[in-house]
Every structure is written in structure tokens, then in C-alpha cells.
Amino acid sequence: MRPSTRVRTSFTIYSASHETSAAAIDSRPAASCPRHVPFPELRTSPPWTRTTEGPGRPPNPFCFQALASALPDRQAKTPPPAAVKPAPVPVPARKKVLAKKGAAAAMGGSKDAGKQEDVHRLRILDNCYMQYRFLNAHAEAAAIAKKDVAEKTIYGLSERIANMQKYVAQKKAELECLKRMEKVHFVVDSQVPSLQQWCELEREHISCLSSGTVALCDAASRVPILGNIKANTGEVKLALNSAMEIMKQLSPCVDKLSRKVGETEDVASELSNVVSDEQVLLQECADLLHQAHDIQAMEDSLKSQVMQLTKNKT
């Protein structure tokens, strides 16, 4: 509809009869009426809008909306219609009912359109909400999967670390045993030459004693014991002197051997003490290894329990 037609239609509301105004109101669509339009020029409503509804209720807003949509175009071209005041015309009851029904139908149509628009918006918002929920669920599932993979990896690494710790503890114990065995071998190896000398001295001593005993046996078997004994004192003296010389030669060997025996005895006693100490230390090391194994097993069980609790909480 052109602006001139709208001005003419709005003007007939004041100048035409009640039938023309009711027809114009009924024929006007509800969508063309704006909801919030300022209307400062019209300060009093027509009398037919106040006759049926009483003085306490507000006038029908549909008429004001129709007039407000048409008056700005008229004010731009013609002077305001405040100078022209239509005479009050009595409105029949049937026309008033028709006007009220038309206004109610127009308002109902606008309400239905508004409801449909609200329903459409609600559907759009619900669709967006479902999309956001789907995206959040997808992200949460991906995060949970990553968390499970990380927990499995950490658990595998913890097992490997525990095995490595056990292996390192075992190797440390073996290294400590090897160090102690090396110390024992060092002490024993330092005494091996003395032991070899002892063996040589023992062989010499045995040979000297055996030769002395043989010589004494020979001398004793040659001495007559029964009958008329006659002996050459010179030869006996020589034999005894030779025996004394042999004993004198054996005495330094015996003294040296006794000193070696004393030293070897001291070293052997020290070696026995060292061996006993090493056995005690080895026993303590074994006890410590058992304790470390128990502590490691307890730590592994506690770690697995903590991981299970965190997984149950999530």
C-alpha cells in the first residue's frame, strides 16, 4: 500500500462514519501494526472506545497502533489533524462487537506468530545446546581415553622402574660381595709367598731330622752293649762331635722356622678374623637385601592402590 493511501485511510477514521472506521480496522492486517510506536499527538481516544469497556479500563491499543502507523506519513505532508475534531457519533452495539472481535483476532494472530517465532527460536537454541553437549561429550571421551593411555603408560613405566631398581640393588650386592672377595684374595695372595717358603723350610727340616735320626740309629747300632765292651773313644768322640755339629746347624733353621710359624700363625688368625667378619657382613647384606625387596614390593602395591583409587574417583 502506498503512503498516500495510508494517509487517506487513517483520515477516514475521524471524518467517516462508524461503519467505514470499523471496516478499515477489520481489514487492516495485524502484522502491519508495530508494537511500540510513540504517539504524542493523539492524547484522547475516540468516544466509541470507552463506551463498552468502562472508564476504569485502558482503551483498545489496536486502534492506537493503526493510527500511529498512519499518522507519521500524514504529519510529514499535511498539518496535524488536531485542529479538526470529529463530532462524537453514537456507535451501535453490533459495530462495537465487530470492532472488538477484529481487534482481538488481529492481536491473536500477532500472538500466534510471536509464539511460532518463539518456538522456532527455542528449537534453534535446543539444537545448539545438543551440539554443544555432543562436542563436550566427545572432548570428554577423548580426554578420558588419553588419560587411560597415560595411566597405562605410567603404570608400565613404574613396573619397569621397579624392575630396574631390583636389578640395580642386586648388582650392587654382587659388586659389594666381589669387593669383599677381592680384599680376601689380596690378603691371601700377600701371604702366598710366605706359605711357599714355609713349605720349603718344612721339607728341609724334615730331611734334616730324618738324616739326624738315621745317623743316631746307625751310631747306636754300632755301640756294643753286652759283654766285654771295648770302644775307641776317639771315634766315639768324633761321632758325637759330628752329631753336635749337625744339631748346631739345625738349631738356626729351627729358630727361623719357629719365627715363620709364629708369623704365619698370626696371619692365619687375622685371616680367620677377617673371614668371620666377612661372613657377618655378608649375612647383614643378605638381610638388607631382603628388607629392600620387601619395601620395594610394598611400594609397588601402594602405587597400584593409589592409581586404582584415582581411577575410581575419576
pLDDT tens digits for 33-59? 444 444 444 444 444 444 444 444 444
**What pLDDT is recorded for position 94?**
57
Angle between helices 3-15 and 61-77 (to 10 degrees): 120
Least confident window among 35-39, 215-219, 259-263:
35-39
| Most confidently predicted of 79-93, 107-121, 198-212 | 198-212
Instruction: Work out the average pLDDT over 94-112.
Output: 60
Cα(228)–Cα(216) distance, rounded to whole angstroms? 23
Is the overall model pTM greater than 0.75, yes or no? Answer: no
The answer to whether the CB of 191 falls within 8 A of the CB of 267 is yes
191: its cell numbers = 701371604
**What pLDDT is recorded for position 13?**
38
pLDDT over 80 at 134, yes or no: yes
pLDDT over 70 at 85, yes or no: no
Q: What is the mean pLDDT of the chain?
A: 70
